[in-house]
Structure 1
Amino acid sequence: MNTLQNTFWSSLIAAGPMTLAMMNLYDRLSPSRKSPLPPATLLEQTLQKTNLPSPSTPERKTDLTMLSHFAYGFAAALLYSGLRHALPRVSPTVRGGLFGLGVWGVGYMGWIPAFGFRASAYRTPPSRNGLMILAHVVWGMSLGSAEDKFRREGEAMWDGQRKAPLAE
């Protein structure tokens, strides 16, 4: 399996636990904190800033929100794949979790406020920041684990016929 395939599948796999974490933690927020989560607000604000129309139905908005969030996760996973050797030499799960925390920090305390989006961590209550931090750590841990597994075993884990290469 090449690096691009590895990264794509790893990011897709990691998006599932992250999405479940966001959904489950959202359920535990107090009613006053239950407004759309950042992926939805960022999509809406991006569409407004670029003068693009909003999706015509709630279902299409959900689909576009999920698709854009998964695409962003893939872009971040490509960065992880390129930086993996420069990250701390700890277990892939821990390394991925640290990377996920970094993705949250660079996004919610970096480019999101720099571009004037309302989802900035500086404008978000601690309970919602905690939700998003934990979700990003879950994403990173899942990404690190999946990326390592695919890199080490590749296609061999699917057909059982080939000897798995033991890559660094």
Structure 2
Amino acid sequence: MAAKGALGGLLATGAMSVLMLAGSRAGLMEDQPPKRIARAAMAGDRHSPKRGERVVGMFAHAGFGAASGAVYAVCCRGRPTPALPALAYALGIWFVSYEGWVPKLGILPPISGDRPGRPAVMAVGHIVYGLVLARFLNRLNRAQGGSG
């Protein structure tokens, strides 16, 4: 179950990332949160751009998305996963991250204090993540003769 969820989480993160890039290109986001998180985690001043931060951010985002998908799949135990719980899970990840640990570490402002565009793009991105994850898990479970 965890492997299915990790694969679904990776696919869902890819879909979410496409939306995030579109949000950046539309001028709604100054830069990508995964890149900012990687920048803060890398050696040196947490706010100064660093060589490789984009690639590190991309891999970290994919890993976080895969791990989150694995956790969700284990919680579902192969049962059908309706859209609403998947959306709640994905929006919960967004809220806990962007109102919790990300601002507490001084990486980005909390949702309530951020530029209007970024929270909107990130919320919609997490909605996409939840929908893609649920759809993938349900299809994979059906294809493998499960109840999903």
Contact 2:29 2:117 (C-alpha < 8 Å) held by counterparts: no
CA distance in 2, matches of 1:46, 1:66: 13
Displacement of 1:119: 4.7
Displacement of 1:39: 0.8
Name the structure 2 match of 1:65: 57
2:5 to 4, 7, 11: 7
Name the structure 2 match of 1:26: 24
Normalised by the length of structure 1, the TM-score is 0.73
2:94 to 100, 104, 111: 104
1:79 to 71, 78, 94: 71
One-letter amino acid of the counterpart of residue 38, structure 2? L
> For the structure 1 residues 119 and 46, does the alpha-carbon distance in structure 2 shift closer, same or farther, using more than 3 Å as the test?
farther
2:30 to 28, 31, 35: 35
CA distance in 2, matches of 1:49, 1:151: 45
Name the structure 2 match of 1:114: 104
Name the structure 2 match of 1:159: none
One-letter amino acid of the counterpart of residue 14, structure 2? G
1:129 to 112, 116, 119: 119
The DSSP-based 3-state class of the residue aligned with 1:35 is coil
Displacement of 1:90: 8.9
Displacement of 1:110: 1.7
Displacement of 1:125: 1.3
The DSSP-based 3-state class of the residue aligned with 2:72 is helix
How many residue pairs end up in the alignment? 145
The answer to whether the aligner puts 1:167 opposite 2:147 as a matched pair is yes
Moved more, 5-14 or 115-124: 115-124
CA distance in 2, matches of 1:46, 1:139: 24
Contact 1:96 1:140 (C-alpha < 8 Å) held by counterparts: yes
Normalised by the length of structure 2, the TM-score is 0.81
One-letter amino acid of the counterpart of residue 39, structure 1? P
Contact 1:92 1:141 (C-alpha < 8 Å) held by counterparts: no
CA distance in 1, matches of 2:120, 2:64: 20
Moved more, 40-49 or 101-110: 40-49
> For the structure 1 residues 120 and 24, does the alpha-carbon distance in structure 2 shift closer, same or farther, using more than 3 Å as the test?
same
Q: Percent identity?
A: 21
